[in-house]
Amino acid sequence: MPSTPVLVLHGGAGTISRSMSPEKNTAYRRALSEIAAAGRDVLAAGGSAVDAVTETVRLLEENPLFNAAYGAVLTSAGEVELDAAVMRGQDRAAGAVTSVRRLRNPVLAARQVMEHSHHVLFCGAGAEAFAAEHGAELVDPDWFVLPERREQLERVRAQDPHAFVVDHDAAGLAAENQEGDEAEASLASGGDPIEPDSKRGTVGAVALDAAGHLAAATSTGGITNKQPGRVGDTPIFGAGTYADDRSCAVSATGMGEGFMRAVAAHEIAALMTYAGLSLTEAAATVIHERLPEVGGDGGLIAVDAQGNVSLPMNTTGMYRAVARVGGELQAAIHADEAV
């Protein structure tokens, strides 16, 4: 029986304040809905799951509301270092790039690695050179950097030169030092909706296509003020990204060290395959049991071969959307919103 194609995306998880300005709330929800609709359109036109997740993540990379490519956070050296991965469930083909600084769309480069190389993971200048040979667009590293990100880095350094903060969290540090109504006013006037030290910023998508195949893609700018060369879970298959037609496709968002130590994405597939758990049961076990065991938090999106969807998190929110071909599109931010 033909599958009903479905596209799921995420744009980061954390302790999301309900005091964000109406304008920012609307901007996030509009972006989630529009990008999910674009990914669904790929599936509706007969595109593969790989096509859908790649295009979805590319659009997220182009949107400065999210921490991936354009508008990514900065390292302690004041530079971007970007990671991305793509995995195809049909044959478990995979490609990833890490620590790149000039690739406009790292997710496209990851797909090029998957489709044009015998290798799986390229880093740094080697990744950029390989991708450029296959048509990837290169830009000046400064193209990615927004003034707000430089201000964010300076706020973190001012508090602790050795600290690192996940995604937009540094934008909330100013509010953290305010009290009561003053802090609320800062958020209400358009301040970042993520509480300090709590947003886990990555973007990703998973999909099931009409042929019954699964795919996953993930992209990130990492964490503010991170040590140059640090790599998180995004480009590590089985940790932050995984797809296997026999079980599920997964894209995670959270502090990468925890997802790597828990081998979180593959753990979901393993619980389904060897323990007989449903997608929902397996994903919940990983997020609410396995991750806390290693001090990890965040969320993930997952879809199985029957089109079941799971979006668990152990934070109070995650930017997310689900779009089924021929069905409704639903976007959400807070944990208590049904999707």
> Of 191, 227, 187, 220, which Cα lies nearest the Cα of 203?
220
26 is in an annotated binding site: no
State the maximum Cα–Cα separation within the chain, in Å, rounded to a whole number.
59
45: tokens are 């036109």
Helix (H) or strand (E) holding 25: helix 22-44
Is 324 marked as a binding-site residue?
A: no
The annotation status of 327 as a binding-site residue, yes or no, is no
Calculate the CA 207 to chain-centre distance. 14
**Cα dist from 157 to 97, 134, 163, 192, 201, whole Å:** 28, 39, 7, 18, 19
Residue 284 phi/psi, 5-degree rounding, is -65, -40
Is 231 labelled as part of a ligand binding site?
A: yes
Examine the residue annotation and report whether 15 is marked as an active-site residue of this protein.
no
CA distance 72 to 185: 26
Closest C-alpha among 54, 70, 55 to residue 221: 70
Nearest residue to 220 (alpha-carbon basis) of 171, 263, 173, 168 = 168
Tokens coding 17:
């304040």
Q: Read off the DSSP letter of residue 269.
A: H
Is 297 labeled as ligand-binding? no
With H, G, I as helix, E, B as strand and everything else as coil, classify residue 295.
coil
Residue 254 labeled ligand binder = yes
At residue 304, φ and ψ (nearest 5 deg) are -105, 180
The CA–CA distances, whole Å, from 82 to 128, 251, 283 equal 11, 16, 26
232 annotated as ligand-binding? yes
Catalytic residue among 75, 202, 241, 315: 202
Does 230 count as an annotated binding residue? Answer: yes
- Kindly report the length of the chain: 339
Residues of each annotated binding site: 230-233, 253-256
Q: Which residues are annotated as a binding site for substrate?
A: 230-233, 253-256
Residues annotated catalytic, as ranges: 202
